[in-house]
Chains A and B, each alone.
Chain A
Amino acid sequence: MLSTSLQISGVLLIEQDLRTVANEYGKVYGKDYVFLGYKPYPDNVILNMGENFRLSFPKDYYNNNLDDLPMMAGVTNYSNVACIVNINATSGVDSWINYANGRYGADLALGVTAVIATDYYAFLQSGQIFGLMGGLKGAAEYERLINRKAVANRGMTSVSVAHLFIILFIIIGNVAFFASGRDKRA
């Protein structure tokens, strides 16, 4: 697994999670996974990686030369990876769709925050992405898919109750509005 962060705030999160998961599954750095780290200007980095990962990342996050890592032997660009999974909370997703999929034809799946999830269902329908995890709901669905219910499924209980309350308040607000006869005065 080759990973990178094109948002500065994601660097430590990814690094920490990679270590945790690697320890859990007994994976070795450089052989099973590589963390490239951060580079600014996501559009340029995505385009560069489409040509050669080494253009933007001659060295990984830990300052190793990419050519010295066994996993990177024969891995040049997107055509050498099975798919790209982009976990994102910003409109930076557009760059992945535009450049990685649009220009280089890479198979792309998304994991996005709920706020922007609805923007990307259209790309799922058009086949530009092959998967979409939308917010906590998407994460909970993924946990069910791999048969390992955890944090997301627990969180969905709270979210579902919150949604029910909001629906209830909308109903109460509408009933109060029509009962007060204000709709007629307007």
Chain B
Amino acid sequence: MEQVSIATMLWMTVAAFLTLCIFSFLYRDNPFYRFAEHLIVGISAGYWIAILYHTSLMVLWVNPLYDSVAAFGNSEGSVAGKIGMLIVNISPGAIGVLMFSRFFKKISWISRWPIAYYLGVSAGIALPLYLQSFVIRQVAANMIDPRSVFAMIFMGQGVANFIQGIGEIIIIIGSICGLAYFYFSAEHKGVFGVAARLGIWILMIGFGATFGYTVMARISLLVGRLYYLIEWVTALSGFSGA
């Protein structure tokens, strides 16, 4: 490993110390863990506000508002247009300020206006798109042409197509059986009972895959931190203070 500077070594040590503070919770709750936990929450909040101020509030609201006020000082453009731009640039801030009415009991109801506006716009845009992306297109993906599936499996179109064909059949059967398990208007008996039983197996395989992936995620986080600690110890052992 290449020689690191004193500043880098210092920050690496701080990061390693905080990592060990968090790991100390494995023993039990303790002041070191709480210190690291509070530190990350505090720094995150402070950092978020600073970034929000510089990249959003200034760039998207204050600067355009300043420009639209300054526009009155030059002779270009119509006065009506300048007033229009001023109203457009004041509006987001004005709507945002209404949120603070919550601090005053008598007029706290005004804070519902910006919330209603935001929710109304969001719902209007999101609902049709959600229906399209998460329902219609997912259902459409299950509408498979049986002739192409038959061709993929039995017409010797290669191993990849054969596997894909089998996959398509599993998707169809899995979807129908999964839905059958959640259909409670008919008793789960006979053919319907077999489908429901197969449905629960399909669901369990799905949950098993999710569980496996979740374990992998947690272990990979641990591996990442352990690699970092190894890197830190290696850097520390070779550190000469140069």
Binding site for B on A (CB under 8 A): 8-9, 11, 37-40, 43, 47, 56, 58-59, 61, 94, 97-99, 101-103, 113-115, 117-118, 122, 125-128, 134-137, 151, 155, 158-159, 162-163, 166
Contact = CB atoms under 8 A, between A and B. Distances in A.
B146 interface: no
The secondary structure that dominates the A interface is helix
B133 A128 contact: yes
10 contacts: A8-B44, A38-B55, A39-B56, A98-B126, A102-B129, A136-B216, A136-B217, A136-B220, A159-B219, A166-B215
Interface string B52-66: 100110011000000
Which among A114, A155, A166 has the highest number of chain B CB atoms within 10 Å?
Answer: A114
Contacts of B140: 126
What secondary structure prevails in chain B residues at the interface with A? helix
A126 B47 contact: no
Given A8-B51, A11-B51, A40 B209 contact: no
Contacts of B51: 8, 11, 37-38
B206 interface: yes
Given A125-B171, A155-B224, A40 B216 contact: no
A59 B59 contact: yes
B133 A101 contact: yes
A155 B185 CA distance: 49
A102 B126 CA distance: 10
B111 to A, nearest CB: 18
Interface of B: 44, 47-48, 51-52, 55-56, 59-60, 122, 125-126, 129-130, 132-134, 137-138, 140-141, 171, 206, 209-210, 212-217, 219-220, 223-224, 227
Instruction: Enumerate the 10 nearest inter-chain pairs by beta-carbon distance, A residue then B residue, closest first.
Output: A126-B141, A114-B217, A102-B133, A136-B220, A114-B213, A162-B219, A114-B216, A115-B217, A118-B210, A98-B133
B110 to A, nearest CB: 21
A126 B138 contact: yes
A11 to B, nearest CB: 6
A99 B122 CA distance: 12
Nearest to B207: A118
B52 A99 contact: no
